[in-house]
Chain A
Amino acid sequence: MPLLKIENLSKSFGGLKAVSNLNINIEKGELIGLIGPNGAGKTTLFNILTGVYEKTEGKMTFMDRDVSGLKPYQVTQRGMARTFQNIRLFDDLSVIDNVKVAYHQRTAYSTFSALLRLPSYFSGEEEMQRKAMDLLKIFNLDDKAEETAKNLPYGEQRRLEIARALATDPKLLLLDEPAAGMNPQETHDLMNLIRWIREKFNLTILLIEHDMALVMGVCERIYVLDYGMIIAQGAPDEIKRNPKVIEAYLGEEVV
């Protein structure tokens, strides 16, 4: 049984079919790319998977359980985490507090001990602080732990978003255009980071990206979406040669 199995998934907004009849299987440990022209329905698929939108038809099975109709926070509790295309950090919170929010669901002590500052409050806070610091070290953000998130440079904000998603302890990580706005050097570092966190955290990753160098460089399998439908899938080399893909990207160079 695959980790994530999407069967005949469709979503319409009014009369418009944003995605239709998607069938996607992701095995545990895979690193999958999802590409396609703007408006092809990639982010919509993420939004359906994570419960932000409700599907119109179809079935989504994640870790052997149906995940349709769940609220976003329930999806996250089941082990699916995401980042956003347009960064959505908790701007006025410190870097470390951004991460601590994500630890909340797994490490929370009771409201009662919070109100009365019982011992479990102190041990809980200490545990969160330690875990968050460890995670920030991995992302090389530990010396900026107390800085306000909105004051970080762009590339570090993207990294913090990934760190925050990892703090929810996911099995499947959904990355929505993680390299957007990065320069080639930063993109290169990001590729290494993505590979590394997959090993370190034992992750499965589904990645939306426009940067072909990145997608072709790290992904083992790629799905190509156009007008809400899958027009091709396969290994990077097959995708590069696929005439349908070239047509969908007409005018855009496929690396």
Chain B
Amino acid sequence: MRNWFNRKNIVSLLGIVLLYAVVQGLIVFDIMPPFYKLTLILICIYIILSTSLNLINGITGQFSIGHAGFMAVGAYVSAMVTVIMHGPLLLGLFAGAVVSALAGLIVGLPTLRLKGDYLAIATLGFGEIVRIVFLNMDFVGGAAGFTLPSKITWTWAFLLMVVSVILIKNFVGSTHGRACISIRENEIAAESMGINTTKYKVMAFTIGAFFAGLAGGIYANYMYIIQPGTFSFLKSFDILVMVVLGGLGSISGGIVGAIVYTLISALLAGIPEWRLVITAVFLVVMMIFRPTGIMGTKEFGLSFLRKKDDKNAASKN
């Protein structure tokens, strides 16, 4: 267990706790305006979404643009569990994530043989099919949507976000994550080095779908209402843009992208008619002048601390 408590992890943990405490304090003492709280919780949700999509698109190199579909599955399933079946919140979130992961498995197995643009279009088609299915389900409200109580607090949203990011980061930083990256780098070579590429593509896709479903569940149990229209391919694009904005393949980049994009959207909320026009121009300009995103594939890390650890270890030897 000594490996858990290196200097880097301890500093990160302190930072996370501090961030949580400051926001929680502002909320408890009623200093935080509701719009800010909404934005912060949305940031948590979008961080889970962008990090999980990054696992599929950036780490494994499989171009998926149907993430809103998995989000929808998680949202509706968790809503069914918490409202229709009167289940507890955590069970609802978990059920949503698991069903979404199953959907990921079912969609991923046949479609992940496809490459590049073809896979992108197939996943986009899947996302739209999911939306239309919920549109046609009358017992969850159809087009009018499904209302549910708002049970998610800042504590829940933040905690679930932190746990999701840590789990995905642990996966990426393991030999399994390296297997996924090797597929992105050169699929034929990966297969020749003994990597079961189908297995790892489906695994990354399923894990990505799991966390997208979780984020969908958090979204549903916070926003009072969910409608099929919310989960259209525009939402998938939003998530994709966050990942690319931050830097495909960089977990911290995905987080930065989610924060920046959500903040921009929030800032432009006052001029809704201009919001998407500005976003669009921003996107095109970004792609032309810095297509690698804010972070590229680099990680924003505390590596200067780790180096000290290494030095300490070296001097002990």
B197 and A73 within 8 A (CB): yes
Would A116 and B170 be within 8 Å (CB), given that A92-B185, A93-B182, A111-B176 are in contact? yes
Number of interface residues of A (CB under 8 A): 42
Instruction: Indicate which residue in A103, A106, A115, A168 contacts B170 across the interface (CB closer than 8 Å).
Output: A115
Q: Mark B188-218, 1 if CB is under 8 A from A, else 0.
A: 1111111111000001000000000000000
Residues of A within 8 A of B174 (CB): 109, 111, 114-115, 121, 125
B186 and A88 within 8 A (CB): yes
A88 and B175 within 8 A (CB): no
Interface residues of A in 80-109 (CB under 8 A from B): 81-82, 84, 88-93, 97, 100-109
**Is A164 in contact with chain B by the CB < 8 A criterion?**
yes
**Is B1 in contact with chain A by the CB < 8 A criterion?**
yes
A77 to B203, CA, bound (A): 20
B186 and A72 within 8 A (CB): no
**Is B294 in contact with chain A by the CB < 8 A criterion?**
no
**Is B181 in contact with chain A by the CB < 8 A criterion?**
yes
Q: Mark A121-157, 1 if CB is under 8 A from B, else 0.
A: 1101100100000000000000000000000000000
B3 and A117 within 8 A (CB): yes
**Is B179 in contact with chain A by the CB < 8 A criterion?**
yes
- Least CB distance, B167 to chain A, in whole angstroms: 5
Residues of A within 8 A of B179 (CB): 101, 104
Q: Which of B188, B194, B297 is the most central at the interface, judged by chain A CB atoms within 10 Å of its CB?
A: B194
B194 and A76 within 8 A (CB): yes
Classify the interface of chain B: helix, strand, loop or mixed: helix
Residues of B within 8 A of A164 (CB): 193
Interface residues of B in 279-309 (CB under 8 A from A): 297
Interface residues of B in 131-150 (CB under 8 A from A): none
Residues of B within 8 A of A114 (CB): 170-171, 174-177
**Is B4 in contact with chain A by the CB < 8 A criterion?**
yes
A169 to B287, CA, bound (A): 43
Q: Mark A154-179, 1 if CB is under 8 A from B, else 0.
A: 00000000001101100000000000
Residues of B within 8 A of A107 (CB): 175
Q: What number of A-B contacts does a CB cutoff of 8 Å give?
A: 108
B170 and A90 within 8 A (CB): no
A107 to B196, CA, bound (A): 14
Beta-carbon nearest neighbor of A114 in chain B: B174
A62 to B83, CA, bound (A): 59
Residues of B within 8 A of A100 (CB): 175, 178
- Least CB distance, B141 to chain A, in whole angstroms: 35
A77 to B196, CA, bound (A): 10
Q: Which of A50, A73, A100 is the most central at the interface, judged by chain B CB atoms within 10 Å of its CB?
A: A73
A73 to B192, CA, bound (A): 5
Residues of B within 8 A of A50 (CB): 192
A100 to B188, CA, bound (A): 17
A29 to B184, CA, bound (A): 35
A91 to B189, CA, bound (A): 11
B193 and A115 within 8 A (CB): no
Would A104 and B3 be within 8 Å (CB), given that A97-B178, A114-B174, A114-B176 are in contact? no
Would A88 and B194 be within 8 Å (CB), given that A114-B176, A115-B170, A128-B175 are in contact? no
A38 to B23, CA, bound (A): 68
A115 to B170, CA, bound (A): 5
A93 and B185 within 8 A (CB): yes
Q: Which of A92, A104, A106, A111 is the most central at the interface, judged by chain B CB atoms within 10 Å of its CB?
A: A104
- Least CB distance, A116 to chain B, in whole angstroms: 7
Would A104 and B194 be within 8 Å (CB), given that A111-B203, A114-B176, A128-B175 are in contact? yes
Would A101 and B195 be within 8 Å (CB), given that A114-B176, A124-B175 are in contact? yes
Would A104 and B178 be within 8 Å (CB), given that A72-B191, A81-B192, A114-B170 are in contact? yes
Would A108 and B176 be within 8 Å (CB), given that A93-B185, A114-B171 are in contact? yes
B190 and A101 within 8 A (CB): yes
Residues of B within 8 A of A168 (CB): 193-194
Residues on A lying within 8 angstroms of B by beta carbon are 50, 52, 71-73, 76-77, 81-82, 84, 88-93, 97, 100-109, 111, 114-117, 119, 121-122, 124-125, 128, 164-165, 167-168
Shortest beta-carbon contacts, A-B, top 5: A114-B174, A105-B194, A90-B185, A88-B189, A76-B194
Q: Can you report 7 A-B residue pairs in the complex whose CB atoms are below 8 A from each other?
A: A71-B196, A92-B181, A93-B178, A101-B193, A115-B171, A125-B174, A165-B193
